[in-house]
Structure 1
């Protein structure tokens, strides 16, 4: 499967439509996320190490908002416990179509079930690990705590949630600095000022970031015993939440 260069916002678009994970985005997604999300390869790779630590025999691991399956593959290749399986869920048919190609080409023996659907409606059952990598930020605010509560309920004792998000900072000066650094990161990766501006416009009111304090408090309210940051680069952070 070839990965095309992301030029979706390279030409003037007039009125920018809201961002969707359609066939055009699926076609360029690996290039888009590599050049847009600082620390993304590290978070995905280290998610695999967490799977090696937390996957317990006979359990299910979930990748909610799996896109093209990067986190699924990372978990799959590091699971050491016997009898595990992975359920990977996305609501975009175009993303799942390409994800299926990736999973089939991988050839690892750990079974992966791909499901098209709304992650808010997917049962979480007998899980040892759940990954929400840059997914919760696209869920309506009112639905976020109920989703995390269902995840906490469906996790085995000792299970883990990996929650990666674009975040906001409460201090206005630090928020402005991190936004600027993120834009510099994009420009250093070859995006033009026009591309940065048009994509930001497309994501407005679609991607709704929150502060780390809000994420921590929500995880505790949802039933997790512990929650904190384990990786951060600029205004992108990943948290682990533990169930005891």
Structure 2
């Protein structure tokens, strides 16, 4: 059963950089649903998008799979497609172990392989769908172009990259408005001012967000022919890029 997220509910003498450790694993579903506006809508739409772009005899990748929520959604979308395999990648072993337990609870003929490794070191091959669900924002900024290029290079023609990210608006005034709306969302979901402040301090050094323009430029540079934002709520957006 999912535990309630109280990691930052008490004053901390010092705030360490946020990491996906066992403590976060235990509360992650509660944390992400209460922190990311539109998260459930993105997951609910993934099967539909996967069905549209999955190809027979191909691989599907969930890069930064965490507890496997997107992996499960992807599996629903390719159950009618022959000879597909999903490969889930995460660099946190506690996440991989819990994801395996979640996947074992749902019967499916679509095979899933979970691997604990750095996604930047993952070789993408014969891919028809690649998902990066709130993952690129944790990759060092100087490696992001390389990650997207690696995905493109290993993707079949007509394949799709589905990427969801927290974003930064290029207009600083509008960016402040979006941040305020996000904080109101967290307050409405029961987070206190202390929790919001301490979580922000913990994550600011490990999560650097891009503008939509930077994402678009990165897709174009890699070679993607088409891209669009298909969902946005406040400063969170889901994008689709097609090879």
TM-score with structure 2 setting the length? 0.98
Q: Counterparts in 2 of 1:13-28, with a 5 A limit? A: 13-28=12-27
Structure 2 contact 224–241 (Cα < 8 Å) conserved: yes
- Aligned partner of 1:183 in structure 2 is 183
User: Which residue of the partner structure matches residue 146 of structure 1?
Assistant: 146
Corresponding residue for residue 88 of structure 1: 88
TM-score by length of 1: 0.98
Q: Match for residue 213 of structure 2?
A: 213
Compute the displacement of 1:107 (Å): 1.4
Mapped to 2, the partners of 1:169 and 1:82 lie a distance apart of: 41
Contact 1:26 1:94 in 2 (8 A): yes
User: Would you say the 8 A contact 1:48–1:71 is kept in 2?
Assistant: no
Give the equivalent residue in structure 2 for 1:170: 170
Contact 1:16 1:202 in 2 (8 A): yes
Q: Matches of 1:45 and 1:61 in 2, distance apart?
A: 17
What's the offset of the Cα at 1:189?
A: 0.2
2:64–2:119 CA contact under 8 A, matched in 1:
yes
Q: Per the alignment, in what secondary structure is the counterpart of residue 168 of structure 1?
A: coil
Determine if contact 1:55/1:81 at 8 Å carries over to the other structure: yes
> RMSD in angstroms over aligned alpha carbons?
0.6
Instruction: Assess if the C-alpha contact under 8 Å between 2:89 and 2:119 holds in 1.
Output: yes
Question: How far off is 1:173 after superposition?
Answer: 1.4
Correspondence for 1:33: 32
Q: Are the counterparts in 1 of residues 46 and 77 from structure 2 also a CA contact under 8 Å?
A: no
User: Which residue does 2:61 correspond to in 1?
Assistant: 62
| Aligned-partner Cα distance in 1 for 2:93–2:234 | 31
Structure 1: distance between partners of 2:77 and 2:150:
25
Give the SS at the match of 1:35. helix
For structure 1, the residue ranges without an aligned partner over 5 or more in a row are none
5+ unaligned residues in a row in structure 2: which ranges?
A: none
Of residues 41-50 and 135-144 in structure 1, the stretch that sits farther from structure 2 once superposed is: 41-50
1:10-30 alpha-carbon deviations (Å, 9 max, x no partner): 000122100000000000000
Aligned length: 242
List, as ranges, runs of 4+ consecutive aligned residues in structure 1 with deviation greater than 2 Å. none
8 Å Cα contact 1:178-1:235 kept in structure 2? yes
- 3-state SS, counterpart of residue 163 of structure 1: strand
